[in-house]
Amino acid sequence: MEILDSMARFGHEQVAMYNDPNTGLRGIIAIHDTTLGPSCGGTRMWPYESETDALADALRLSLAMTYKSAAAGLNLGGGKGVIIGDPRTQKSESLLRSWGRFVDTLGGRYLTTTDVGTNGRDLESIHQETRHVVGLDVTLGGSGDTSIMTGLGVYMGIKACAGDAWGSDSLRGRTIAMQGFGKVASHTAKHLLDEDARVIATDISEDALGKAKSMGVQVVGAEEIFDTPCDIFAPCALGGVINKDSIQRLSCRIVAGGANNQLATEADGEELQRRGITYAPDFLINAGGIINVSTEIGQPYNPDRARQQTERIYEQMSAVLTTSRNKEISTARAAELLAETRLADVRRVRGIFRG
């Protein structure tokens, strides 16, 4: 991969790479855009097959974080950190503290939090070496578990789509098929079950499946979920699951879930539109986590404020649906337009010019 060419293609400002032979740490931080404020995004630890794959993931995810924060009305830019390694066998305090030192070299241009492969305890280790950490436990002055608000935001997005599709946002009796049942999905499922919806789920983790069963969720096989008749299909695992092959198998009216980068290509969003399937753009409805941590930056964390801002995802999703219909564009493009418009407006105010 030609790094500078890739950065220019997607509009990235900075890519920093780090190697620490003392701890085995190999990592990348991608900063996409700081128009609205410092970049913010989680640290992901994953056993990537190559450095090229890790860089591609960092670039893609940091871009999505720019759109996520901009669309949510936050004064944050988009960033993402990736550590190359298996979190089950290669994670250590020394590696995480080394990562914290790396984050600190950027002087606050990048604020980190949790992502796939990292957790709250890991943040505590990172925090030993840098103050540029958000999402710490509430006992340490942070906002705590981001998955709680993320799950609420996904639920609000689902309800907005239901109201548009069926004339009522009630989910009573509706069937939701969840592909992945991690922390975000389980919090979303709780809201759905409280509303007497029927939830079907799958996951590659036996622990996750056990939790699903304990909540009264029906469990099916990992591949079976795509063929499960449902009203709403909710991707809640890794990205790229909505693609030309999986779309052919879906029998739903709405696609709305917590996973990042659900569409394999832009064309897949247009294909959903053509088939009459409403797509809730992931960066719009899964913004509850970044909203939650944003409320602790420069001020004491206020959970009520975080909840109020997260619940506005309902209104934002409704606005995107209206724009999609009025402009005859996909909901994915309508959500991007919402973010791009805000970024352009702020650039004009600040006299920032980008090619």
Nearest to 195 by CA among 165, 237, 149, 232: 232
Q: Which two tokens stand for residue 50?
A: 């190559």
Determine the Cα–Cα distance for residues 315 and 155; give it in Å rounded to an integer: 13
Angle between helices 313-327 and 303-311 (to 10 degrees): 20
Cβ of 112: how many Cβ atoms within 10 Å?
Answer: 29
Residue 275 in contact with residue 247, Cβ under 8 Å? yes
Count Cβ atoms within 10 A of the Cβ of residue 153 and give its class: 0-12 exposed, 13-18 middle, 19 or more buried.
buried
Determine the Cα–Cα distance for residues 31 and 145; give it in Å rounded to an integer: 24
Count Cβ atoms within 10 A of the Cβ of residue 335 and give its class: 0-12 exposed, 13-18 middle, 19 or more buried.
buried
80 belongs to the catalytic site: yes
Residue 82 in contact with residue 27, Cβ under 8 Å? yes
Count Cβ atoms within 10 A of the Cβ of residue 214 and give its class: 0-12 exposed, 13-18 middle, 19 or more buried.
exposed
Q: Quick check: helix, strand or coil at residue 161?
A: helix
Distances (CA, A) of 25 to 57, 78, 101, 190: 17, 23, 11, 37
Determine the Cα–Cα distance for residues 286 and 152; give it in Å rounded to an integer: 9
Residue 82 in contact with residue 57, Cβ under 8 Å? yes
Output the 3-class SS for 268-280: HHHHHHHCCCEEC
Q: Which two tokens stand for residue 332?
A: 């994915």
Nearest to 252 by CA among 306, 160, 198, 177: 177
Single out the catalytic residue among 80, 159, 183, 211: 80
Residues that are catalytic: 80
